[in-house]
Amino acid sequence: MSLWAGREDVEPDSLRWHQVVTPYKRASEPGVVLVGFGCDAGVARNQGRVGAAEGPRSLRRALAPLAWHRRAPVFDAGDVNCHGNDDMESAQARLAERLATLLANSQLPVALGGGHEMAYASWSGLTRHLEARGERCPKIGIVNLDAHFDLRDPSQVRSSGTPFAQIAAECEARGWPFRYACLGVSRANNTRALFDRARKLGVLIKEDREFLPHRFEAIQRELERFMAHCDHLYLTVDLDVLPSSEAPGVSAPAARGVALAMIETLIETVRDSGKLRLADFAELNPSFDNDGRTARAAARLIHQLTLDT
Ligand SMILES: N=CN[C@@H](CCC(=O)O)C(=O)O
Separation of CA 252 and ligand 1 centre (Å):
6
Burial (Cβ within 10 Å: 0-12, 13-18, ≥19) of residue 233: buried
Percent of the chain with pLDDT over 70: 100
Specify the pTM. 0.97
Encode pLDDT of 133-150 as tens digits. 999 999 999 999 999 999
What mean pLDDT is predicted for residues 253-271?
98
Separation of CA 248 and ligand 1 centre (Å):
14
Give the whole-angstrom CA distance, residue 8 versus residue 10. Answer: 7
Residue 309 pLDDT more than 90? no
Residue 97: predicted pLDDT: 98
What mean pLDDT is predicted for residues 149-177?
98
Encode pLDDT of 176-210 as tens digits. 999 999 999 999 999 999 999 999 999 999 999 99
Residue 45 pLDDT more than 90? yes
Looking at ligand 1, which residue's alpha carbon is closest to its atom 8? 48
Instruction: Give this complex's ipTM.
Output: 0.93
Parallel, antiparallel or unpaired: strands 232-238 and 108-113: unpaired
Residue 263: predicted pLDDT: 98
Separation of CA 146 and ligand 1 centre (Å):
10
CB-hemisphere CA count at 13 Å for 170?
Answer: 15
Encode pLDDT of 79-105 as tens digits. 999 999 999 999 999 999 999 999 999
Residue 131 pLDDT more than 80? yes
